[in-house]
Amino acid sequence: MCSARSRPEGHRTLPAAHLSLSKKLTLGAAGVAFLVLAAPPLLTSRVPQLAPPRVAEGLSLPVLPARAGQVSSAAGQAERRVEPLAVPAEHDAAEAFRRFERKLALRTGVRVVAREPQGYDRREEVPEWLHLEWVSPFWRLRGDVLLVFDVASRAIQVSASSRGPLPVVGLSRQRIEALRALLAEAP
């Protein structure tokens, strides 16, 4: 690189105002591309703080922030309702829930944000509830999935919501269906 003192005689640098139109367009397009690709992860990275569900008082799902793409097994509206995840009849419910949690930990793009009961020494117990953060592979869109386990009814109550400024229609429902397929897989 040449410093200002070692430049050959007659050489001068052009100020930014004298950039050619093609260079301005290239820089503008690069700036727009950066915003389009970087904005979704930056705008959706904050995990909402949720109060744990009151499992002992009856399986009630905590309220996720209201968004257009939210679906839940406890929703009153038909377009937002999904069926709870059911454990196949041939499997022990407690063991199926533990195996399901282990499979979730191995899945790419899924992170367990909160769990009850907490603590490494209590991992072998059936979880009462899980709060998952789900990240889509390409656009890095984040969403929250809440799972409340009910061993007696052999079901998992679910609630899913996408984070960010633009709700992605159908993404929460796809996440629930992916969980349903994961639970139905053979051990």
pLDDT in tens, 61-70: 655 556 667 8
Q: Lowest mean pLDDT: which of 85-89, 137-141, 157-161?
A: 137-141
Please count the structural domains in the chain. Answer: 1
pLDDT value for 57: 45
Three-class secondary structure of residue 72 per DSSP: strand
pLDDT value for 34: 65
Residue 95 domain flag:
yes
What is the average pLDDT across 47-68?
55
- Token pair 């984040």: residue: 142
Residue of 110, 143, 130 whose CA lies nearest to 41: 143
Residue 110 domain flag:
yes
Residue 163 domain flag:
yes
pLDDT value for 18: 63
pLDDT value for 83: 92
Long-range contact pairs involving 111-117 (C-beta distance under 8 Å, separation at least 24): 111/135, 113/47, 113/144, 114/50, 114/52, 116/52, 116/55
**Cα distance between residue 113 and residue 84, in whole Å:** 21
Residue 121 domain flag:
yes
Reported as a pLDDT band with limits 50, 70 and 90, residue 179 is very high
Residue 153 domain flag:
yes
- Token pair 């929703």: residue: 75
Residue 24 domain flag:
no
pLDDT value for 120: 55
Residue 14 domain flag:
no
**Cα distance between residue 168 and residue 141, in whole Å:** 9
Question: Domain of 154: which CATH number?
Answer: 3.30.310
Three-class secondary structure of residue 116 per DSSP: strand
More confident residue, 160 or 32: 160
Residue 77 domain flag:
yes
What is the domain range of residue 161?
68-184
Which of left, alpha, beta for 95 (phi over 0: left; psi -120 to 50: alpha)?
A: alpha
Burial (Cβ within 10 Å: 0-12, 13-18, ≥19) of residue 139: middle
**Cα distance between residue 166 and residue 39, in whole Å:** 11
More confident residue, 47 or 143: 143
pLDDT value for 97: 86
Give the pLDDT confidence of 84-115 residue by residue, as tens digits.
Answer: 999 888 888 888 888 888 898 888 899 888 88
Q: Which stretches of the chain are assigned E, i.e. beta strand?
A: 71-72, 85-86, 110-116, 129-135, 142-150, 155-162
